[in-house]
Structure 1
Amino acid sequence: MKRTSWLPGLVLSCLLFCPLAQAREWLAVGTDFPQLYEQDGQGRFIGLGADLLRVVLGEMGDSVRFELYPWARAQLMVAEGRADILVGPYRTPEREMRMLFTRHAFYRDRLVFYARSDQPLEWGGDYARLQGQRVAAIRGWVYGDRFDHARAHLDLRSVEGVGNALLMLQHGRIDLLATNERNSRPWIEALPAGSLVQLQPAIDSKDGYFAFPRREPYEALKVRFDETFQRLLEDGRFARMAAEAGVQVPE
Structure 2
Amino acid sequence: MKLKLRILALITLLIPSYLFSVEQPLSIAFVEYPPYHFTSGDGVEGISIRIIEEAFRRTEIPIEFNVMPWSRALIWLRLGKIDGMVGVFIRPERLEYIDYSKLPLSKAQIHLFVTEGSNIEYSEDLTKLSHFRFGVKKDFSYGPYFDDLVAQNKLTKLTYEVDIPQLLVKLCTGVTDIMVGERRNSEYVFNQLIKETYPQLTRCKKIIALTPAIDARLAYLAFSKQNQLTDIRDRFDEAMNSMKQDGSLNRIIQSYDPQLSN
Structure 1 length normalisation: TM-score? Answer: 0.86
Alpha-carbon offset, residue 205 of structure 1: 0.6
- The alpha-carbon distance between structure 1 residues 128 and 20, as it changes in their structure 2 partners (threshold 3 A), is same
Cα distance in structure 2, aligned partners of 1:96 and 1:205: 20
SS at match of 2:102: coil
1:207 is aligned, of 205, 212, 218, to 218
Alpha-carbon offset, residue 51 of structure 1: 1.5
- The alpha-carbon distance between structure 1 residues 115 and 235, as it changes in their structure 2 partners (threshold 3 A), is same
Instruction: State the partner residue of 2:7.
Output: none
Instruction: State the partner residue of 1:69.
Output: 68
Unaligned regions of 5+ residues in structure 2, if any? 1-10, 195-200
Instruction: State the partner residue of 2:54.
Output: 55
- The alpha-carbon distance between structure 1 residues 56 and 20, as it changes in their structure 2 partners (threshold 3 A), is farther
Higher-Rg structure is 1
Instruction: State the partner residue of 1:35.
Output: 35
Indicate conservation of the 8 Å contact 1:107/1:249, yes or no: no
Q: Once superposed, what is the RMSD of the aligned Cα atoms?
A: 2.4
- The alpha-carbon distance between structure 1 residues 25 and 132, as it changes in their structure 2 partners (threshold 3 A), is same
Indicate conservation of the 8 Å contact 1:54/1:63, yes or no: no
Cα distance in structure 1, aligned partners of 2:251 and 2:122: 37
Alpha-carbon offset, residue 24 of structure 1: 4.0
For these two proteins, the number of residue pairs brought into alignment is: 236
Cα distance in structure 1, aligned partners of 2:124 and 2:237: 36
State, as a whole percentage, how many aligned pairs show the same letter.
21
Indicate conservation of the 8 Å contact 2:30/2:66, yes or no: yes
Unaligned regions of 5+ residues in structure 1, if any? 1-11
Alpha-carbon offset, residue 206 of structure 1: 0.6
Alpha-carbon offset, residue 21 of structure 1: 8.8
Structure 2 length normalisation: TM-score? Answer: 0.83
Instruction: State the partner residue of 2:6.
Output: none
Cα distance in structure 1, aligned partners of 2:30 and 2:88: 9
1:217 maps onto 2:228 in alignment: yes
Cα distance in structure 2, aligned partners of 1:194 and 1:222: 44
